[in-house]
Amino acid sequence: MEIRLISSLSEVKLQVSQNAWKASVWKPDVNEESKTAETIKKMRAILNKLTPEKFENLVSQVKELPIDNEEILTQVIDLIFEKAIAEQGFSSTYAQLCKVLSKMAVGMDSSKGDNSKVIFSNLLITKCRTQFQKDNIKEFMITKEKKLSECTDSEQRLELKADLNYEETKFVGELYKLSMLVSHDMMTIIKTLLTRGDDDSLECLCKLLTTVGSLLEAQCKSRSKANLDQSFAQLDKIVKERLAGNRIRFLIMDVTDLRKNNWTPRRQENNPKTMAEIQ
């Protein structure tokens, strides 16, 4: 008996279920986006009011915000950094805020397949390090130069020019003074600025050393102490061999004299104070 099997793929019709699975394209959760935007908006409003006098009250408001994932925490740190740089006179207050929030921890982004925690202080340290990378410094300086070029008031221009390079270094210095950064972090930043060697970087370096020099000298271990001595030797060479303009060389001489005088400044820093401290 001959059995003939006839098959034709073209004749096969598949029955489509009404509930058939369809490939979907991932879209961000609108609710999460709204929550993040609202949280950052509230955070900015709080920071706009931040002063030493209102510090405790405003910190408690920050702690009540729904900062419960890596995305929001990262944006909060970016915002604090932005405000601290823009408001140099309150750098120490923003650094104190970071100190209070340093232990805040949230779950890591689940898409990375990791259930570990992300800690505020670790993200902040990473932020500080990346801010002194070449591309970030260049972008930062372009922004500041644009602000300077748009300023028409002569006195304000002088003030902006004087502060052009100081904002980031002052805030980072204040973080170090509160033990948010360690000596190794500071030496890495010092080496980066010194290696770059342009006037802007050397001016940043002088400001940074003025802010943290005393503490850095006291906390440096033998190896770090040798690196610090080497850095000052390089600065001394810049002065002696006139490898920078007069203004930068005078700044280097000032910070060198400050070190020779055991880091005792001629006048105290004019940081913001509470009404009780003023009285």
List, for residues 236-270, the tens digit of each pLDDT value. Answer: 999 999 999 999 999 999 999 999 999 988 766 55
Assess whether pLDDT exceeds 60 at residue 20.
Answer: no
Over residues 16-36, mean pLDDT? 59
Please state, in angstroms and rounded to a whole number, the distance separating the CA atoms of residues 263 and 258: 5
Q: 54 is in which domain, residue-wise?
A: 34-132
Residue 217 lies in a domain: yes
Residue 138 lies in a domain: no
Q: Helix, strand, coil % (nearest 5) of the chain?
A: 65, 5, 30
Same-domain pairing of 47 and 126:
yes
Residue 169 lies in a domain: no
Q: What is the pLDDT of residue 192?
A: 87
Over residues 62-69, mean pLDDT? 94
Same-domain pairing of 119 and 187:
no
Residue 83 lies in a domain: yes
Is the overall model pTM greater than 0.95, yes or no? no
- Total tally of structural domains belonging to the chain: 2
Sign of CA dihedral 13, 17, 21, 25: positive
Same-domain pairing of 127 and 207:
no
Residue 206 lies in a domain: yes
Q: What is the pLDDT of residues 76-135, one digit of tens each?
A: 999 999 898 888 789 899 999 999 999 999 987 655 555 688 999 999 988 887 776 654
> Which of 11-25, 94-108, 138-152, 175-189 has the least mean pLDDT?
11-25
Same-domain pairing of 42 and 118:
yes
Please state, in angstroms and rounded to a whole number, the distance separating the CA atoms of residues 40 and 146: 26
Comparing 123 with 140, the larger pLDDT belongs to: 123
3-state secondary structure of 148: helix
Same-domain pairing of 99 and 187:
no
Please state, in angstroms and rounded to a whole number, the distance separating the CA atoms of residues 229 and 239: 15
Last residue of a domain, one of 97, 112, 132: 132
Last residue of a domain, one of 97, 132, 167: 132
Q: What is the pLDDT of residue 40?
A: 96
Residue 5 lies in a domain: no
Residue 118 lies in a domain: yes
With beta carbons less than 8 A apart as the criterion, state whether 216 and 186 touch.
yes
Residue 144 lies in a domain: no
Q: What is the pLDDT of residues 263-274, one digit of tens each?
A: 988 766 555 656
Last residue of a domain, one of 69, 101, 132: 132
Sign of CA dihedral 97, 102, 105, 109: positive
CATH code for the domain in which residue 76 is found: 1.25.40.180
Comparing 212 with 222, the larger pLDDT belongs to: 212
User: What is the bridge-based pairing of β-strands 105-107 and 117-119?
Assistant: antiparallel
Over residues 71-76, mean pLDDT? 95
